[in-house]
Amino acid sequence: MKIGTLLLLTFSGVQAFSPSIPKNHATVNSALFAEMDRRSMIGSAAAAIVVAASVEPAFAEGSSKVVVAGATGQSGRRVLERLAALKGLNVVGAVRNVDKAAASLAESSTVIRGAMVQKVGSIDTDGVELVHMDVVADSVDAITEVLRGADSLIIATGFIPGNPLKMNKSAHEVDNLGTCKLVDAAKAAGVKKVVMISSILTNGRNWGQAKSPGFVITNAFGNVLDEKIVAENYLRASGLDYTIVRPGGLKATPPAGALKISGEDTLNSGEISRDLVADVCVASLTDPKASNKVLEIIEDEGVPPKVFNGLTM
């Protein structure tokens, strides 16, 4: 697995990075380095682009443990695949049913998940430990034991839209309460870094987007954006080192455009491949520029984004 050449982006004081994804995934390369053009940073309030080398996450051989919560989800399984290919890392996939997860990850198929039909590829889980975790049913103490000894946690959980009479309850239990449980458990277990996959427009009500098409349509599914922002704020107030990754509309297809990273509360449309989301999550584990940051990400198609979650704006 290769996290390719990086672009370090500075958004009015917010630093992030942009891994380009090669078609042929290979090994991860050497440590990050960069030279910043100070004149471009001083002379413009817009993003300053800095070309950097490939980055190898700085995991100590055999001593670093990363837990992926929601490892069988469409984004979680991609994160799991990338982590499993890295050296010096103990990878744990936290799932509700271990036997079903092992079978699901090992096969390629087309699945119906709530209102979505998605193609999923098989994942090589050699060297990955699958353990039980249910963020709704399990107590914080039980989740803490799963996270015990972990250095990092990637939260890729999310409710699956289905029965319209139960969506509000499900979104509240998973995207709000369940995520807050994970944060509490991470603190209790001594986890050092938490990466959370959220969504653009999560904080839409607070920057004038409450009536925007993307917010209205997405939040119609269980008020999920309102639930996610509670969990985001809970993580931010926890004292843990965090990165919140807010992707645009998620696509199961490979990337068709370059990765665009924007500052907090700036994107209200756009789509992105789950492959890119996974790469940003993995890079966020060790890159200090992602520390305590909110990264909003979409694919740059060369024109202003006009689509979000399949909706033409």
120-124, Cβ contacts within 8 angstroms, sequence gap of 24 or more: 120/74, 120/77, 120/252, 123/77, 123/80, 123/81, 123/84, 124/81, 124/84
294 CB-side CA count, 13 A: 18
pTM for the whole thing? 0.80
pLDDT digits (tens, 9 = 90+) for 193-244: 999 999 999 999 999 999 999 999 999 999 999 999 999 999 999 999 999 9
Contacts of 200 (CB under 8 A, 6+ apart): 214, 246, 247, 248, 267, 268, 270, 296, 298, 308
Q: What is the dihedral of CA 231, 232, 237, 238, to 10 degrees?
A: 60
pLDDT of residue 273: 96
**Sign of the Cα pseudo-torsion (69, 191, 20, 232, in order):** positive
What is the rounded CA–CA span in Å between residue 56 and residue 29?
A: 6
